[in-house]
């Protein structure tokens, strides 16, 4: 992974941070995106990664983010769309969910990854043409498949992202870009604590474990591209 | 010609003037440009993404307003944040560049505030309005500042301010261009799939396309400025393969012609510093898909490497008569190089070479 160029959204906490660590541990060059300038600066310094301040839920922020990713890394091989919004907190019945809350979940979990992937597709396909391989990993959830009451906004947005990944994987196969949609499982992360405050942390997966599994899945997809 | 004033990359009614190797003219829909190619041809595009290279701010010693248009860089390296830049005084893109007031006099070491960025003048580059600039801070901060404060360079014929997505081609990769390699606007993903279906190869180069106009005749005469580029190894291999199979190399835009001719199609990094014009023998490129260029533009000179002046004059008259649209969002020309004896370093298009085997 010594020359691998990786971008991760939502890289300052939970799974995203664990992914930054894991990719760095394996020698990849990493750029990550998050909203808090302070946290971005800290994590960037700690892990010698390129920190980018931005919010993928904002249309106007996407190209500046994409520009900084490819300017910093000089290209891109792997994009991890990890940044995620839970929808209304505490969880709400769909009938009690405001349109704006659903829209926000879709902006963050569906349109954000769609826009960022589209803006970075030139860089990803360039990597594929140069036989470096190109992978987009979209972080999914069991809520993308199962209908959980009170998780309507989140579940619908994650289901849409999952299907988007599948279609993109079909459409861009010939261009050499592989799309993965993977569910890391229930993890001991700030997002999960927000979602299920009563959960026993001891029964939850460690984000480091999930990050290792995901990085291995990316590695396998890249190896397949080389084969 | 008519200025295309709306930022639509692929207007449904975009037109194409085809100038074939014999100098014959034909009008077509631009959407059909791939029909003009043959199985075995190679299409090469510039995958540079475009920087928001126009930065407004203040010349700190005088307090005067200034616009800096980043125009060149010595390399494509991510850490290289020293630029050459064209400077303007008050006003913005809505004013014709020719009418823009001069910037305040700039001296070595003068600091300029550009939104969150600070830059220092490192000297004049042979013209009072072309200077070397060094930004303060690390590369990451400079890219972040350019990303947040910069706007795409644009001209007075446009109706509205351009967004970054207006000027990124669908294949835009690394942000190194100062103006869009706009011939690439036509390359949507459907057209790339269609190339594949027709067994026409596709490859890319990266060239830091510079600015196309400054409004100053002496400075315009120096355009294009030197442009760093990169030819990926698979692109060099694809050129050899196409040539060996008798296919043509079709450049998407003038920047691709510059990179391929300067490199002779060899992989690696380089600096395109040559002039391409009537006296230039094209050694790699056989045809080019480009915008419609008018005789006074710097890009027009490059067309003279493809066809003689009489043919280009006929083409210009045809574009004018049919009301083609010009500039970066305008209509297109597909121009094949006229056949000359021994025009090529590599075998391929030239009948002379083929017959000589």
CATH of the domain at A42: 3.40.50.720
A129:B232 CB<8 A:
yes
How far is CA B101 from each of CA B48, B88, B98, B133, rounded to the nearest angstrom?
31, 7, 9, 20
* Cβ-proximal residues to A52 (8 Å cutoff; 6+ apart), any chain: A31, A32, A33, A34, A40, A65, A68, A69, A72, B144
- For B76-95, how does the pLDDT look when each residue is reduced to its tens digit (9 = 90+)? 999 999 999 999 999 999 99
B9 contact A CB<8A: no
The model's confidence at residue A189, banded by pLDDT at 50, 70 and 90, is confident
According to the model, what pLDDT value does residue B355 have?
A: 31
Round to whole Å and give the CA distance between A106 and A154. 8
| Chain A nearest-CA residue for B139 | A72
Question: What's the burial of A103, exposed, middle or buried (CB within 10 Å: 0-12/13-18/19+)?
Answer: middle
Domain of A99, in residue numbers: 5-226
**Residues within 8 A of A (CB atoms), B 189-208 only:** 189, 192-193, 196, 203-204
| B-chain residues near A67 (CB < 8 A) | 49, 51-52, 143, 146-147, 164, 175
According to the model, what pLDDT value does residue B357 have?
A: 27
A121:B170 CB<8 A:
yes
B78:A74 CB<8 A:
yes
Of A60, A71, A125, the CB nearest to B143: A71
Select from B135, B141, B173 the residue whose CB has the most chain A CBs within 10 Å, as the one to mutate to test that interface: B173
* pTM (two decimals): 0.94
The model's confidence at residue A122, banded by pLDDT at 50, 70 and 90, is very high
| Chain B nearest-CA residue for A128 | B234
Question: What ipTM does this complex have?
Answer: 0.94
According to the model, what pLDDT value does residue B340 have?
A: 65
Is A163 in contact with A181 (CB distance < 8 Å)?
no
| Chain B nearest-CA residue for A124 | B173
* Cβ-proximal residues to A209 (8 Å cutoff; 6+ apart), any chain: none
**Residues within 8 A of A (CB atoms), B 201-260 only:** 203-204, 232-234
Structure tokens at A163: 């299907």
| Chain B nearest-CA residue for A174 | B193
B78:A171 CB<8 A:
no
| A-chain residues near B144 (CB < 8 A) | 52-53, 68
| B-chain residues near A60 (CB < 8 A) | 163
Alpha helices for chain A (secondary structure H): 14-25, 37-47, 59-73, 99-106, 112-129, 152-171, 190-195, 207-226
What is the nearest CA distance from A123 to chain B, expressed in angstroms? 4
Round to whole Å and give the CA distance between A201 and A217. 25
Round to whole Å and give the CA distance between B344 and B173. 30
Of B78, B144, B204, the CB nearest to A129: B204
Is B234 in contact with B248 (CB distance < 8 Å)?
no
* Cβ-proximal residues to B141 (8 Å cutoff; 6+ apart), any chain: none
Taking alpha carbons only, the member of B195, B197, B198, B191 closest to residue B170 is B191
A122:B173 CB<8 A:
yes
A167 contact B CB<8A: no
**pLDDT surpasses 80 at A226:** no
Of A63, A72, A126, the CB nearest to B173: A126
| A-chain residues near B170 (CB < 8 A) | 121-122
Is B89 in contact with B112 (CB distance < 8 Å)?
no
Tell me A107's DSSP state.
I
Q: To the nearest whole percent, how much of chain A has pLDDT over 70?
A: 98
How many structural domains comprise chain A? 1
Q: What does the angle CA B189 – CA B333 – CA B19 come to, to the nearest 5 degrees?
A: 125
According to the model, what pLDDT value does residue B343 have?
A: 46
Question: What's the burial of B302, exposed, middle or buried (CB within 10 Å: 0-12/13-18/19+)?
Answer: buried
Q: What does the angle CA A57 – CA A60 – CA A63 come to, to the nearest 5 degrees?
A: 100
**For chain B (length 357 residues), average pLDDT per consecutive 10?**
90 95 97 96 98 98 97 94 95 92 94 98 94 95 97 94 97 98 96 97 97 92 94 98 97 98 98 94 97 84 95 96 92 92 42 32
Name all domains of chain B by residue range, CATH numbers in brackets. Answer: 2-50+161-356 (3.40.1780.10), 54-149 (2.40.10)
């Amino acid at each position: 992974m010594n020359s691998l160029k990786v971008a991760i959204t939502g890289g300052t906490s939970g799974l995203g941070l664990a992914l930054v660590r894991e990719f760095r541990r394996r020698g990849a060059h990493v750029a990550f995106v998050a909203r808090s300038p302070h946290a971005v600066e800290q994590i960037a310094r700690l892990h010698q990664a390129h920190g980018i301040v931005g919010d993928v839920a904002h249309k106007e922020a996407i190209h500046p983010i994409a520009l900084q990713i490819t300017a910093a890394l000089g290209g891109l091989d792997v994009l991890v769309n990890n940044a995620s919004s839970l929808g209304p907190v505490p969880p709400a019945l769909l009938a009690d969910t405001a349109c704006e809350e659903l829209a926000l979940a879709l902006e963050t979990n569906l349109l954000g990854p769609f826009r960022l992937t589209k803006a970075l597709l030139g860089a990803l396909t360039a990597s594929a043409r140069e036989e470096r391989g190109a992978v987009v990993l979209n972080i999914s959830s069991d809520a993308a498949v199962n209908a959980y009451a009170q998780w309507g906004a989140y579940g619908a947005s994650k289901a849409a992202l999952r299907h988007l990944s599948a279609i993109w994987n079909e459409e861009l196969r010939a261009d050499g870009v592989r799309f993965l949609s993977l569910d890391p499982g229930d993890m001991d992360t700030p997002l999960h604590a927000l979602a299920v405050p009563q959960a026993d942390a001891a029964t939850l997966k460690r984000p480091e474990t999930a990050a290792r599994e995901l990085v291995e899945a990316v590695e396998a997809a890249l190896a397949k591209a080389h084969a | 010609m008519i200025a295309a004033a709306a930022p639509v990359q692929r207007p449904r009614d975009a037109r194409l003037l085809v100038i074939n190797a014999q100098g014959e003219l034909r009008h077509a829909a631009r959407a059909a440009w791939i029909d003009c190619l043959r199985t075995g041809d190679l299409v090469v595009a510039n995958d540079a993404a475009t920087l928001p290279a126009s930065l407004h701010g203040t010349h700190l010693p005088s307090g005067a307003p200034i616009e800096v248009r980043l125009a060149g860089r010595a390399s494509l390296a991510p850490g290289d944040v020293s630029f050459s830049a064209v400077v303007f005084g008050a006003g913005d893109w809505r004013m014709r560049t020719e009418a823009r007031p001069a910037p305040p006099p700039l001296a070595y070491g003068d600091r300029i505030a550009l939104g969150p960025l600070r830059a220092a003048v490192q000297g004049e580059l042979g013209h009072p309005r072309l200077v070397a600039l060094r930004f303060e801070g690390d590369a990451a901060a400079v890219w972040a500042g350019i990303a947040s404060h910069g706007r795409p360079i644009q001209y007075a014929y446009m109706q509205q301010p351009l967004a970054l997505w207006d000027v990124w081609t669908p294949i835009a990769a690394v942000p190194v261009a100062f103006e869009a390699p706009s011939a690439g606007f036509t390359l949507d993903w459907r057209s790339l799939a269609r190339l594949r279906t027709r067994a026409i190869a596709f490859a890319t180069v990266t060239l830091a396309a510079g600015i196309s106009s400054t409004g100053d005749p002496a400075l315009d005469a120096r355009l294009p400025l030197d442009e760093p580029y990169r030819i990926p190894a698979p692109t060099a291999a694809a050129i050899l393969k196409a040539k060996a199979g008798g296919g043509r190399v079709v450049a998407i835009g003038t920047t691709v012609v510059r990179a391929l001719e300067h490199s002779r199609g060899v992989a690696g990094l380089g600096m395109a510093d040559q002039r391409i014009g009537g006296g230039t023998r094209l050694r790699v490129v056989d045809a080019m898909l480009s915008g419609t260029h008018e005789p006074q533009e710097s890009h027009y000179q490059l067309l003279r490497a493809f066809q003689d002046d009489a043919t280009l004059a006929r083409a210009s008259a045809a574009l004018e008569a049919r009301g083609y649209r010009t500039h970066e969002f305008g209509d297109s020309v597909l121009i094949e190089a006229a056949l000359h004896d021994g025009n090529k370093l590599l075998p391929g298009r030239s009948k002379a070479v083929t017959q000589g085997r």
